[in-house]
Structure formats: structure tokens, C-alpha cells
Amino acid sequence: MKRLFNFLLIVFIFSCNKKNPNEPEQNKQFYLIDIYHGTISLGPRSYWYVKFYTEEGDSIYFEAIVNNGNDISYAFWCDSINFERWKNNENAQLRNYQEAILNYSISSIVSKGTYYIVLGNSAYFDSKIYWARGYIKGLR
């Protein structure tokens, strides 16, 4: 009986020391990592992109507004594979794709990987200026 009690006591102690997978490690802290902050000048028929890297469970936040011009012609974000497909005029999966908008914003939790945010100007003659701010929030 004493051995059974000792065994159950050891099992109880080990089970209490297990880490909860939903709790962040105590040595890690939340960080905000800028991916872009400033103005973007786009000539006719051009696009701008920002490339960034994330860890598992990071959140991305991005917003852009028209500073000079009539609209943001198009905006989206995607992973590196779909960015290359889009650049090569192939079928690509573009996330949160929008056209002819005054502002663009995204907020998403992502997997570990390489991502791109793209803003474009499809006008034939007019240049446009956008203001944008983007950052990653995650544990490091």
C-alpha cells in the first residue's frame, strides 16, 4: 500500500510540473516588429511590395491609405509561392484581394513563413502616393 501511495505521489508531482501548451514560455515576451512605416510613391502601371518573415502563431497587422491620388488600385497579401505565381501571371491564391479602395487593412494570425504585402497602381498616366504601416506581433 505504501508503494502505491508513493507511486501516485510521484505521478501527481510530475503531472503538476507539465507546461500548459497554451501558456507562453516565461522567458519569451511579446514584440512588435515593424515591417514598414512611411509613404509609398507609385508611378503609372507599377506596384510596391514588402517582404517579411514570421514565426508560428505571429499576427500581422497592416494598413494603407491614399495620400495623393484617387484610390489604391489593388492590394493583397500572400505567401512566397503565390507571390512568384502572381508575378509570372499564373493562377495565384491572393489573400484579402481588393480593388479601387481608399484604404486597405489586414489583421491575421499566420504560420511560420515568408509573406508579401502588395499595393498597386494600375493607372496608365497618374502617379499615386500611399501611406502605410505594418508590423508583426509575436513571442520572441
Task: List the one residue out of 132, 117, 129 whose CA is nearest residue 44.
Answer: 129
pTM over 0.85: no
The radius of gyration of the chain from alpha carbons, rounded to an integer in Å, stands at 23
Return d(Cα 116, Cα 22) in angstroms, integer.
28
Q: What is the pLDDT of residue 30?
A: 87
Q: How confident is the chain (140 residues) per 10-residue block, as mean pLDDT?
A: 56 55 68 96 98 96 97 98 98 97 97 97 97 95
Q: Is the CB of residue 75 less than 8 Å from the CB of residue 122?
A: no
